[in-house]
Chain A
Amino acid sequence: MSDQAIIDAYSDRPWEAPGRHEPVVRLRGIVKRFGGIEAVSGVDLDIYRGEIFCLLGGSGCGKTTLLRMLAGLELPDAGSIEIDGQDVTALPPYERPVNMMFQSYALFPHMSVAANVAFGLKRDGIRGAELESRVAQALAQLELIDFANRRPHQLSGGQRQRVALARAIVKRPKLLLLDEPLGALDKRLRENAQYQLMKLADDTGITMIVVTHDQEEAMVLSTRSAVMDKGQVRQIGTPSELYERPGSRFVAAFLGNITLFDGSVAAIRDGIAELSVDGLDAPLFAAAGSVLAGSRGALAVRPEKVRIGREGEAPESQVNRLGGIVEGLAYLGDITSYRVRTDHGALVEVTRANSENAAKRDLDWDDRVEVWFSPENALLLGAD
């Protein structure tokens, strides 16, 4: 394959070949303190053209502060921000090629929908026919034509969200920042809005950075996400990397449910580690990851990768098997979730797809069961 072919092959996923592409956003060593407390401490990020990049974390993890620094609403105490090759670290918000959609939407209450959308264009001196056509285009893109003359207080929550989005994209920014863009919508609206946002990213090609606390939202929307905690980026990856190969207990526990067994690594053979689990006689086996033999570690396994059956139902070939009692059971329609207390006292979460009619329960509360999982589907994490 020629070099050009490789570039082409990767062109819609530039982050997979970082050496060949210039990032649109380059953050280096960003630090921000509020009254002596570090809200953001030393963040480096490269974000590429066309990405929907999620900053994911709990409240107070620094994700919104980071977004506000990109918008120019806060100035970093250290570090540099480059957007499209231009150092914007010290530029005020009105001189940055960046637009932001605020969590509260921040619509101008005394202006009509059309005037809200036109506001940014007018600041660039755009008038007359061009102004009208660009406003109309943005309104059409978000299905707002019928509401052009309404005031924000006359709109529903979903319509306001779309006005905020239209206002933020109409200037065709190099970077669109979204602060919890779907946070105020109810569940049904949110799903539609998610797809609308992805379609918008596709149609316009605008690079987006989305702040969210909702891991599901990050999974659906993002090309890649950065999981943040205490002002630092804990891991950057695609949704499946973060879910299937979390690098730490924090990331593993933040994205979805997971069962952890603490122990010490007895041996590593062919990339499979043998873990002596505290309080358990037989060892458990898992993909080794970067953990070294002799160190402490934790075996992590997702609930849907654990199988469950009556005692003795586990195939003989399974090395990771544990006996226990069903302590909790939740029927969720598409899946059933079990909590199994193992004989050595650990709690294991198991989910099972109800691929057949589950009206007749074959496993019930207090039943003796066996749970098992293959080593390839479990992961060994460091002790952090």
Chain B
Amino acid sequence: MSRRRGKVALLGLVVAGFAFLYLPLVVLVLFSFNASKLVSVWGGWSTKWYLELFRNEQILNAAWLSLKIATINATGATLLGTMAGLVLARFGRFGGRALFTGLIAAPLVMPDVIIGISLLLTFVSMEQFIGWPYGRGIDTILIAHITFSTAYVAVVVQSRASGLDRSIEEAALDLGARPITAFLLVTLPMLAPALASGWLLAFTLSLDDLVIASFVSGPGSSTLPMVIFSKVRLGVTPEINALATLLIGIVALAAGTATWIQIRRSGRA
């Protein structure tokens, strides 16, 4: 009897916990299908805000820019982060390892505002001294995003790389592969799941970022989160709900894919 009551209570807690996390998202998704122009009043089902959204040049341009930045950022961060992660996992105890680890991980804990403002100051003074980057726009946003995304990729790659059996690469060398061949044919394929989830993580982080992008973007290079935020300040329109629903879909897809890849691979290794 008491056992059963305990089970019900536990279930209640779980439901309450998930409601706490996901109720706002459910409400948002529901209201994106609201026919009424007033955000908080239900006026029946409709998909008209989605159609409105796809006619809005400003939002479409911003979305395209954000996707472009997210893709380039993810690729760049994966390249740099992989190198950093491999060094952390493989090079044992080299001089300044603790410092290197700290410096790699710092962007994970640094407030976005500080990253943003420091990058802005750097870009401005670089422009004064060496003339590059000229003004602020897509270049500066990219540099900023790669800077902090690299840290996340490095952590993902490091944990995967330190879990790999070193002797698998040694076996490749033993069988006659030069180090570069061994890396390309053996190490890289084994790291592939980490690279994929690192890439997706960096992609999502970039797509999400409002604070840092606000600091380092220039005229004509407003990313999607910036456009949304500026619109919200003038009042939330149902259009924004539709846009947010689409974004949730994309991010959930990316996160889901990353998790799926990890699970599938770890089941094999």
Contact = CB atoms under 8 A, between A and B. Distances in A.
Contact of A102 (B170, B176, B189, B190): B170
B175 interface: yes
A102 B170 CA distance: 9
A106 B171 CA distance: 6
B163 to A, nearest CB: 12
A153 B269 contact: yes
B175 A171 contact: yes
A72, A92, A94, A153: most-surrounded residue (chain B CB, <10 A): A94
B263 to A, nearest CB: 14
Contacts of B170: 71, 73, 93, 100, 102, 106
A112 B209 CA distance: 42
A10 interface: no
Contact of B175 (A103, A109, A167): A167
B205 interface: no
B87 interface: no
Contacts of B175: 94, 99, 119-120, 123, 167, 171
B176 to A, nearest CB: 4
B65 interface: no
Specify the main secondary structure of chain A where it touches its partner: loop
B57 interface: no
A99 B176 CA distance: 9
Indicate the size class of the contact surface on chain B: 20 to 34
B186 A108 contact: yes
A153 B174 contact: no
B172 A153 contact: no
B173 A92 contact: yes
Contacts of A98: 174
Contacts of A368: none
A92 B181 CA distance: 14
Contact of A94 (B165, B176, B185): B176
B190 A119 contact: no
A124 B176 contact: yes
Nearest to B189: A110
Nearest to A98: B174
B127 to A, nearest CB: 47
A151 B265 CA distance: 13
B174 A73 contact: yes
B178 interface: yes
A37 B253 CA distance: 53
B177 interface: yes
A108 B168 CA distance: 6
Given A94-B174, A94-B178, A123-B175, A107 B168 contact: yes
Given A73-B170, A100-B171, A123 B190 contact: no
A119 B172 contact: yes
Given A73-B170, A100-B171, A108-B168, A123 B186 contact: no
Contact of B167 (A94, A104, A151): A104
B268 interface: yes
Nearest to A92: B173
A171 B176 contact: yes
Interface string B129-168: 0000000000000000000000000000000000001011
Q: Top 7 nearest A-B pairs by Cβ distance?
A: A120-B175, A123-B176, A106-B171, A106-B167, A93-B173, A102-B167, A110-B189
Interface of A: 71-73, 92-94, 98-100, 102-104, 106-110, 119-120, 123-124, 151, 153, 167, 171
28 contacts: A71-B170, A71-B174, A72-B173, A73-B173, A73-B174, A92-B173, A94-B177, A98-B174, A99-B174, A99-B175, A100-B170, A106-B165, A106-B167, A106-B170, A107-B171, A108-B168, A108-B171, A108-B186, A109-B190, A109-B269, A110-B189, A119-B175, A119-B177, A119-B185, A120-B176, A153-B268, A167-B171, A171-B176
